[in-house]
Amino acid sequence: MYEWMVTARYYEERLQEEYLEGKQPAFDISAGPIPGELHLAAGQEAAAAGVCSHLRDADTVTAPHRPHHVAIAKGVDLKRMTAEIFGRQTGLSKGKGGHMHLFDPDVNFACSGIIAEGCPPAVGAALAAKKRGEDSVAVAYLGEGAISQGGFLESLNLASVHDLPVVFVIEDNDWAISMPKDRVTDVENGAQRAGGFDLPGRRVDRDDAVAVYEAADEAVGRARDGNGPTLLEVQVHRRMGHFMGDAQGYRPEADEEQAKQRDSIARMETTLENAGIDESTIEELRDRSHDRVEEAIEWAKDQPEPDPDDAYEDVFVDPPAGWTPASESTTAEQTGGDD
Ligand SMILES: Cc1ncc(C[n+]2csc(CCOP(=O)(O)OP(=O)(O)O)c2C)c(N)n1
Ligand SMILES: [Mg+2]
């Protein structure tokens, strides 16, 4: 878990540097090697590592617009993910998706810039697993700012009524862009949403990877054993702005300072030291993570840019063999076929 967390943190520190290249002095969002928005998840690593430790490649994970820590913990190919973020041809989606639309079918990972969008597909994956008699599970990550979205609430209902193997994980970082959570909902915490749908809801109120691991052990185990869904909420901390370039004028300085002090990585290091892991082993894990990140970034920057003509490819699904547009086809009755 520590290795994933350190990889995610260092990865984002490096992306931050790469992202800023060429964007100054007036912040030009389209300039530099990483054009477009970039939402960093530094301070949220425990929520990814603690849950994804329990998952296999066959399990599905959906994440929102702040996805890197979760993608890393789910085992998404770091080189192709980085190439995607840099908009290169060999990226996971040929450079067309960017950092908010990473998709890796090898480990069943997807994310989206649309808030709570990942909940219905996770429920679909869980329904598919149940119908096929497989013991795989699905996990949908969302921010606390998404807990009133219809897609999330309808997903809770369907998951509960069909007893589906899905775990919803709310990452509560206190903010939805500039909106503090207590201005948009009256519930004390997001896990309370579970009550209205008759499924277990649990909150881990500190961003401690071990505490998350224990809560997720129960939730994922419950799903895998065919005992239905769980809603988990984890308190995390947004160490940075909502996205790169966010001046955070709305945020009290003390809040930002507190977020930096409550560092799940420092906490994990103390946990490891208390468990008798020596400093050199911790350093080794850290070095290995850094090397992996540098290698991925170097590889990605060497990859070719997509051909502009490729923009028209993969936009529509190729129709199945034998399919003809409705306007040209005769009816099923005339052909005797079943369409
Ligand atoms: C359906 C939808 N509405 C609005 C937005 C614009 N938007 C992007 S991020 C965001 C806030 C999300 O807050 P939260 O869910 O707490 O996630 P966090 O950014 O804190 O990780 C909003 C409203 C969106 N992407 N999708
Ligand atoms: Mg939030």
Would you list the DSSP string of 301-319?
HHSPPPPGGGGGTTSSPPP
Angle at Cα 118 formed by Cα 117 and Cα 119, nearest 5°?
Answer: 95
Residue 130: pLDDT over 70: yes
User: Is the preceding omega at residue 25 within 30 degrees of 0, hence cis?
Assistant: yes
Best of 175, 177, 235 for a ligand 1 pocket test (most atoms within 8 Å of beta carbon): 177
Q: Report pTM.
A: 0.94
pLDDT tens per residue across span 255-298: 999 998 999 999 999 999 999 999 999 999 999 999 999 999 99
pLDDT tens per residue across span 210-262: 999 999 999 999 999 999 999 999 999 999 999 999 999 999 999 999 998 99
Give me ligand 1 centre to Cα 128, in Å. Answer: 28
Give me ligand 2 centre to Cα 181, in Å. Answer: 8
Ligand 1 surroundings by CB, under 6 angstroms: 65-66, 113-115, 143-146, 173, 175-177, 242
Give the C-alpha separation, 48 to 25, whole Å. 34
Pick the atom of ligand 1 nearest to 181's CA: 16
Give the H/E segment covering residue 78.
helix 78-85
CB atoms within 10 A of CB 234: 32
- Residue 14, CA distances (Å) to 36, 71, 97, 243 in order: 16, 16, 20, 15
- What pLDDT was estimated at residue 31? 93
- % pLDDT > 90, the chain: 89
What's the whole-number mean pLDDT along residues 133-139? 98
Best of 115, 168, 182, 242 for a ligand 1 pocket test (most atoms within 8 Å of beta carbon): 115
What's the whole-number mean pLDDT along residues 64-76? 98
Give the H/E segment covering residue 274.
helix 264-274
